[in-house]
Amino acid sequence: MSESTQQESLRTGPFAGLVVIELGNSVAAPFAGQILGELGARVIKIEKSDGDDARRWGPPFWEGASPFFQALNRNKKSVVCDLRDPQQIEELKQYICEHADIVIQNLRPGHVEKLGLDATSLLARQPRLIYCNLGAFGKVGPLKDRPGYDPLMQAFGGIMSTTGEPGRPAVRVGASIVDMGTGMWGIIGILTALLERQQSGVGKVIDVSLYETATTWVSLLAAQYLSNGEVAAKQGSGASGIVPYKGYMTSDGELVIAAGSDALFKALSTTVGKPEWATDPRFIDNPRRVENQTELYGMLDAIIATQPTDYWVERLEAAGVPCAPVNNLAQMVAHPQTQALGLMQDVPGTGMRFIGLPISFDGVRPKPYAAPPKLGEHTELISKRKAT
């Protein structure tokens, strides 16, 4: 049995019969493709001759490509297709219409239409096809033809304006929350379309975008603005409208405390040796605490800084006050909770391991069954050309 056949035999899950074509690069579409692959679909990644740009996002590099690429592309097949070659494009179209259930794409605006690989063209040939566009600014509007990337959308969509410390420059959230969030919204749309196709036999076009995702992530803060006309300021580690609800420096690290109710504030006050705060008119309920947060936080900062993180975690947890140390990535990966959940998963046939999908079915988390593909490793699936 060949290695490829062995890998296919390991592919199980609710979508084991589905074929997905990923016309994607970078993060958003590859993340959506990986979710489908982890759930059993056969995902065929179409790459240009020099590959997905994410292959070169390093150093570091891990077994032939950047960790970013490897973390987003396990369980996939890689097919090299020159999208400037009409014959290769026609081969791809034919394969899609004969074999594919789903197409996901995040190529630059207008590119798939020029190639005839757009939803309208392909659904005319195969009405059962589910086609998901993961765009930048969306399908309509004055910015519809502009490209977009995660940091640009965190800026343009309002996320960065509320992230960071007051009086300091705006800060990007370190994780690619807009790219990966857009991939997740794409999957929600695809799942909805699959359910509808079971009943109608007809596919559907799904449109999601980085900009729409970014606006959704700030929708709670936007609701505050829409209610009173006041633009939310940077909150540091805190949250607009909830006090006390932020991070503190301890004598040896950082600790976040979330006392988001009157009862929790009373418990926090007692724990830090200030039970009288619970009945102080300045802090007696959340609206008063929000109004007087500078004074309250100044006093809490000074108290929390006197003891190490473990000291406060032990006492706050005993009092029922939600809190968490600010773990770095090494601490998160090594934590017993991470291990107990089985989040760290080995990739068969490699020395790589990644964080798995944040979902389990009947207590079982989907597992990777194949390594991220080498560039062009599976080109012969679609074309008679040899892999390069």
Spell out the SS3 assignment of the chain.
CCHHHHHHHHCCCCCCCCEEEEECCCCHHHHHHHHHHHCCCEEEEEECCCCCHHHHCCCCCECCECHHHHHHCCCEEEEECCCCCHHHHHHHHHHHHHHCCEEEECCCCCHHHHHCCCHHHHHHHCCCCEEEEEECCCCCCCCCCCCCCHHHHHHHCCCHHHCCCCCCCCCCCCCCHHHHHHHHHHHHHHHHHHHHHHHHCCCEEEEEEHHHHHHHHCHHHHHHHHHHCCCCCCCCCCECCECCEEEEECCCCEEEEECCCHHHHHHHHHHCCCHHHHHCCCCCCHHHHHHCHHHHHHHHHHHHCCCCHHHHHHHHHHCCCCEEECCCHHHHHHCHHHHHCCCEEECCCCCCEEECCCCCECCECCCCCCCCCCCCCCHHHCCCCCCC
Active-site residue identified among 52, 118, 150, 179: 179
Active site residue 301: no
Instruction: List residues with catalytic annotation.
Output: 179
